């Protein structure tokens, strides 16, 4: 059974309000708790609809993506939905990772997350904006604010397309319950569901999130932004190394492999490369390096659309999973249908006529180039390539994030 869950008010205060008051009330990470509740409901009632609770594949839909395409209503497991799926795969006190038998994650993986107490200033800001500061119970006061008024103050906080970009105001956080410890630590310790997964990225994940940073135009401003906005605990030596790994050279920036084209500002392609790797491509590789050793895992890379300033941008691969015209180029669709039915993108269900025209190796099986395998979608072909691009910067970021998580945990 394939269950699609649509996430309402994704990445907003309604689902991810932090702070000590929220922790004391036991209402942390409500966005994830809602998803767990939906999965539990499915387990309990899906048989009444002819489904099998033992055959649920998780694929979560973030509602904000409807702004980009009319086709998103039938899609999911992408972006914040993929991140949610990955977080629910991790071991926690809610046993969320026992509620499904497989997961599909598109443009989203684990993240290094803050602790609940780290979100106190955001909570206090929302309290002040809604005139609740003088209340003896500020959380109860917030709960009494009319929806439209509360939403107006939430909308005034930094979002994905603000200067803070992917350093979100409202995001999941470590609460000791739904997220018991940093996802990098849980992953490194093997504390995740041992179920088959599919996880992939677009090549230029960071481009659409770098348009709001156009006032960053120098090397010094780039390094300061990386340090202050994303990696405040990093040393100056580490930040300097990031500057070397993500140079000002536009030919090495994102959209990748486009030479000097698409250089919107002197630092645009550099920012896009760094932000895409930090939040999307490096975490995917880290998660696969561990899960591919313990269970079946497949991965892909979407590289189409390099002729625009966005390139193969975040979530642009939805067109291959949910094409408007299914008369051709259905390799991705066939693979997804097979995975839902058999937990293997290459193996169709019994009596099914869905047969892929290309064999998709698991991620840890060497590609023809001798490295981990990716099913890669180029403009002119679909083939198996190696997951051997930008290995040094991605490994540096993963080691940096894991190290910081461990230090914070100690």
Name the active-site residue from 205, 267, 289, 404: 205
How many other CB atoms are found less than 10 A from the CB of residue 128? 12
Most distant CA atoms of the chain, gap in Å: 66
Cis upstream peptide for 255 (omega within 30°): yes
244 catalytically annotated? no
Name the active-site residue from 21, 109, 165, 314: 314
CB 342 within 8 A of CB 348: yes
314 catalytically annotated? yes
Buried b (16+ CB within 10 A) or exposed e, 34-49: bbbebbeebbeebeee
Rounded (5°) CA angle 204-296-183:
60
Cα 181 from Cα 270, distance rounded (Å) = 31
Query: Which run of H or E residues covers position 220?
Result: helix 219-225
Distances, alpha carbon 24 to alpha carbons 115, 123, 172, in Å: 14, 13, 17
Name the active-site residue from 79, 186, 199, 373: 79
How many other CB atoms are found less than 10 A from the CB of residue 206? 29
Q: Annotated active-site positions, please?
A: 79, 205, 314
């Amino acid at each position: 059974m394939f269950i699609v869950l649509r996430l309402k008010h994704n990445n907003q205060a309604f689902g991810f309000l932090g702070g000590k008051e929220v922790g004391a009330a036991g209402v942390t990470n409500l966005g994830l708790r809602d998803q767990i509740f939906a999965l539990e409901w499915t387990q309990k009632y899906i048989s009444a609809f002819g489904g099998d609770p033992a055959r649920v594949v998780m694929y979560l839909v973030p509602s904000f993506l409807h702004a980009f395409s009319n086709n998103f209503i039938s899609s999911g497991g992408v972006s914040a939905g993929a991140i949610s799926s990955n977080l629910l795969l991790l071991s926690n006190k809610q046993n969320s990772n026992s509620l499904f038998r497989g997961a599909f994650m598109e443009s989203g993986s684990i993240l290094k997350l803050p602790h609940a107490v780290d979100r106190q200033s955001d909570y206090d800001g929302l309290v002040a904006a809604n005139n609740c500061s003088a209340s003896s119970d500020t959380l109860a006061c917030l709960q009494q604010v009319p929806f439209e008024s509360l939403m107006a103050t939430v909308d005034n906080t930094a979002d994905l397309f603000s200067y803070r970009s992917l350093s979100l105001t409202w995001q999941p956080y470590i609460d000791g319950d739904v997220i018991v410890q940093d996802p990098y630590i849980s992953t490194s310790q093997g504390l995740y569901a041992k179920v088959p997964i599919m996880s992939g990225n677009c090549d230029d994940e960071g481009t659409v999130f770098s348009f709001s940073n156009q006032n960053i135009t120098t090397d010094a401003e780039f390094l300061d932004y990386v340090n202050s906005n994303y990696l405040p605990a990093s040393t100056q030596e580490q930040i300097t190394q990031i500057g070397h790994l993500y140079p000002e050279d536009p030919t090495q920036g994102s959209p990748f492999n486009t030479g000097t084209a698409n250089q919107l500002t002197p630092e645009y392609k550099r920012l896009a490369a760094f932000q895409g790797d930090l939040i999307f491509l490096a975490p995917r590789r880290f998660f696969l390096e561990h899960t591919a050793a313990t269970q079946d895992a497949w991965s892909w890379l979407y590289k189409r659309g390099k002729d625009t300033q966005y390139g193969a941008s975040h979530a642009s691969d939805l067109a291959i999973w949910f094409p408007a015209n299914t008369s051709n180029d259905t390799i991705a669709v066939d693979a997804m249908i097979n995975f839902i039915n058999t937990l293997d993108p290459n193996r169709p269900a019994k009596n099914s006529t869905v047969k892929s025209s290309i064999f998709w190796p698991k991620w840890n099986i060497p590609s023809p180039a001798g490295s981990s395998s990716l099913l890669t979608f180029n403009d002119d072909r679909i083939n198996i390539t190696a997951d051997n691009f930008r290995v040094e910067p991605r490994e540096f970021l993963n080691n940096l994030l894991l190290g910081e998580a461990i230090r914070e945990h100690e």
